[in-house]
Homo-oligomer: A and B are copies of this chain.
Amino acid sequence: MKKKATITDIARALNITPSAVSKALNGHPRISKKTRDAVEAMAAKLNYRPNHLASGLRKGQSGLLGMLVPATEIKAYAAAINGAEAEAEAAGYNVIIAQSRDEYQKELKVFESMNRTQVEGLIVCMASTTTRFEHFDKWEKEGPPLVLFDRIFERGKRHMSVLDDYLASYVATEHLIEQGCTRLAHLSGPLHIPTYENRMRAFKDRLKRYGFEEKAEWMPTSALTIEDGRAFMEGCFERGEIPDGIFASSDYAAFGAMRVLQEKGLKVPEEVAMVGFGNEQFGAFIQPGLSTIDPESEAMGRLAARLLIQQIRMKSSEIPSYRRRILKPKLIVRESSRRNVHT
């Protein structure tokens, strides 16, 4: 591991000054083709690699973007990361990933650490347990640009890249109704997050439209995990009231509920039709295959990164109005909701 070559080394070897080398390397216009070629040749020969720390310090930029997600195992977030990284790479940025595990305290720590690391921007999907937003306010006042994705909150508008959750829920609920379901349940996440609130609202709107009953016990708001799904379904059996259609805001919850149904001997989709959310990999593997909403997460991540990079490149003088990118969900129909009612 020998010492690395610097522009000064190149300069010395060529009998010119570091500043000329810097200009040559950066395609500065006022530099002769001859020296530019010489510099490039020498750089290659010395195996020169620009030092990002030095140029970053000088230019006040780190070349780093931060991205905070609840967990990287969740398919939707993994895909969003891939999208954001692709976009970032194209723009010459690296991405630092952090996870909140859906814990507010961890989220705070990540904000701290991202701040220290001098990221030039932050992409955030907030933790489900986050109900205070001072850290966002503070960041926006003092820090570099920030873009929310997937989960958002409304306190003060912000840049965001999100799914059209109302539409997603509309489509999923309509689909269940088309399949002949009339006694519908919706497993939701916390309603203080507009993401889930929007889905719940669309769900209720559909029920109202068709004159179907709205049962509070069939609309739990903390039902995102397999265990939550199981618990919900077991509760239904205890109360002796089983819905004939379930739209869950998470594939995991849908799976948990489905397994209980199967254990109790009910048929999916014939007796209970199901639609999940998130297009997790396992949904295509289980039997019956789980119908689901594909949240277009890769595109969501890509757009979030693009939005962020736009902010960064913008002269900070002219603060732009808050921009949002809203993606269209895609319903994926598999066996768990297909009853072949009409042909």
Q: Which of A211-251 contact B (CB under 8 A)?
A: none
Among listed A9-17, A32-40, A73-81, A332-340, interface-contacting one: A73-81
Compute how far the CA of A49 lies from the CA of B54 in the bound complex, rounded to whole angstroms: 19
Q: A2-B142, A95-B96, A143-B1 are in contact. Are A117 and B52 (CB under 8 A)?
A: yes
A residues contacting the other copy or chain, number (CB 8 A): 43
* A130 interface hit (Cβ, 8 Å): no
A118/B53 in contact, CB under 8 A: yes
Compute how far the CA of A118 lies from the CA of B4 in the bound complex, rounded to whole angstroms: 11
* A72 interface hit (Cβ, 8 Å): yes
0 or 1 for each of A54-87: is its CB under 8 Å from B? (1 = yes)? 1011000011000000001101001001100100
Looking at the assembled complex, report how far the CB atom of A159 sits from the nearest CB atom of chain B, in whole angstroms: 14
Looking at the assembled complex, report how far the CB atom of A74 sits from the nearest CB atom of chain B, in whole angstroms: 10
Looking at the assembled complex, report how far the CB atom of A147 sits from the nearest CB atom of chain B, in whole angstroms: 15
Contact of A141 among B1, B49, B53, B142 (CB under 8 A): B1
Q: Which of A8-46 contact B (CB under 8 A)?
A: none
Q: B residues within 8 A CB of A95?
A: 96-97
Looking at the assembled complex, report how far the CB atom of A166 sits from the nearest CB atom of chain B, in whole angstroms: 29
* A51 interface hit (Cβ, 8 Å): yes
Copies in the complex: 2
B94/A63 in contact, CB under 8 A: no
Compute how far the CA of A51 lies from the CA of B59 in the bound complex, rounded to whole angstroms: 13
* A144 interface hit (Cβ, 8 Å): yes
- Chain B, residue nearest A287 (CB): B287
Q: B residues within 8 A CB of A105?
A: none
Q: B residues within 8 A CB of A118?
A: 51-53
- Chain B, residue nearest A281 (CB): B282
Looking at the assembled complex, report how far the CB atom of A254 sits from the nearest CB atom of chain B, in whole angstroms: 11
B142/A117 in contact, CB under 8 A: no
Compute how far the CA of A93 lies from the CA of B1 in the bound complex, rounded to whole angstroms: 21
0 or 1 for each of A102-121: is its CB under 8 Å from B? (1 = yes)? 00000000000101111000
Compute how far the CA of A4 lies from the CA of B82 in the bound complex, rounded to whole angstroms: 31
* A286 interface hit (Cβ, 8 Å): yes
Q: Which of A152-172 contact B (CB under 8 A)?
A: none
* A343 interface hit (Cβ, 8 Å): no
* A285 interface hit (Cβ, 8 Å): yes
* A255 interface hit (Cβ, 8 Å): yes
Residues of A at the B interface (CB closer than 8 Å) are: 1-2, 4, 47, 49-54, 56-57, 62-63, 72-73, 75, 78, 81-82, 85, 89, 94-97, 99, 113, 115-118, 141-144, 255, 281-282, 285-287, 316
21 A-B pairs with CB atoms under 8 Å apart are A1-B141, A1-B144, A4-B142, A47-B142, A51-B57, A51-B118, A52-B62, A53-B53, A53-B118, A54-B57, A63-B117, A72-B78, A72-B82, A73-B78, A82-B99, A85-B97, A85-B99, A97-B97, A281-B281, A281-B282, A282-B282
The 9 closest A-B pairs by CB, nearest first: A282-B282, A53-B57, A282-B285, A53-B56, A285-B286, A94-B96, A57-B57, A73-B78, A49-B116
